[in-house]
Amino acid sequence: MSKKQPLYRVSFCSPTSETDKDGNPKLSNAVEIGAVWGRSGDKEGAIMRLNIVPQNMADGVIFLNKPRPKGPQPG
């Protein structure tokens, strides 16, 4: 039985004290904080499970990225 892959990887970036040329805050490097998993059986939707909950989550940006396939990549 193969292990299930998450639908998405969840990453978080917090704002820094620096701003870009338009005055918007720059973001820090992304940190993976969890994953989104499909529900089992015929249930609709997905479940987001966070391993880390940032203190400043309301101020930052959450990114959902598709997981990279495991194993050797075609060249």
Phi, psi at 59, each rounded to 5°: -90, -15
Residue boundaries of the structural domains of the chain: 8-15+26-65
- Answering whether pTM is above 0.85, one says no
Binned at pLDDT 50, 70 and 90, residue 73 comes out as low
pLDDT digits (tens, 9 = 90+) for 35-65: 999 998 899 999 999 999 999 899 999 999 9
Q: What is the pLDDT of residue 6?
A: 95
- For residues 35 and 67, what is the distance between their CA atoms, to the nearest angstrom? 9
For position 37, what pLDDT does the model report?
96
Q: What is the pLDDT of residues 9-30, one digit of tens each?
A: 999 999 999 999 999 999 999 9
Structure tokens at 21: 């040329």
